[in-house]
Amino acid sequence: MTLSLTAPVQQQLTAAVDLLTRQLGRNLMAVHLYGSAVEGGLRPYSDLDLLVTVRATLDDAQRAALMQALLTLSAPPGASDTKRALEVTVLVYSQLVPWRYPPVRELQFGEWLREAIGAGIYEPAQQDADIAILLTKARHASVALAGDEAARLFPPVPPRDLRQTFQDTLTLWQTTADLQGDERNILLTLARIWYSVVHGDITGKEEAADWLLPRLPADHAATLQAARQEYLGLATQDWAAVMPAVEDFFRYAKAQISARLDG
């Protein structure tokens, strides 16, 4: 796969792989770039998504050192001209092959954890159903920055486990407070889940929104279009001012998706 990446992005990726190699040594098995960078193109606020596969679990000192080091290579979305936000997920190969559900992630780094990491608080390894989606995305479209191709390293995730992941994801958002602060991404994630439930595969946020928009009632289409425009950097939205519309879209989309999952 040929990538078209800016020089700053290439430099950031090189620095990230160098850091991972230094920090993990022989424990490092593979590093894969997936997500917007390889499928659909990076948008103004897109993260750089890295899947890191290791041979063995990390001890507390390794976990802390890696999280602190990644903090120096990442920047909050839109805060830097030379750095993008990194989202780094570390998986232990033997915990995923052979496949079992729910999967376990060894570590996850992201800008939403910056304050906690700065305070010396690090998430432990934990079950994470979203790994089923992540691995499906990486198998479908990713670039190996180190190690073998993802489609050769990991077996396909069974469709039943993907569907269970979608059901589990919908339960994460129950109240208005669950939606506040991440409205754009939640709206686009709902579009992606809806697309996946109908088509049985994974697609990008923009592509999912483009597919869903003509299938929605006008009021819900306007809400999703606002999220799409902001994601593309074409407009900004005062989500607090339109929270009732966000809640209406969420309830409608959740009901439609759940009906298809139960059918």
Catalytic residue positions, numbered? 87
Which sign, positive or negative, has the C-alpha torsion 193, 194, 195, 198?
Answer: positive
Per-residue b/e over 139-156, b at no fewer than 16 CB within 10 Å? bbbbbbbeeeebeebbee
Residue 206 near residue 232, CB atoms below 8 Å: yes
Percent of the chain as helix, strand, coil, to the nearest 5: 55, 15, 30
Instruction: Give dist(CA 227, CA 235) in Å, integer.
Output: 9
What tokens appear for 126 in the block? 């934990």
What tokens appear for 168 in the block? 């589990």
Q: Name which of 128, 85, 84, 121 is nearest 106 in CA terms.
A: 128
Task: Describe the crossing of helices 183-199 and 218-231 by its angle, rounded to 10 degrees.
Answer: 110
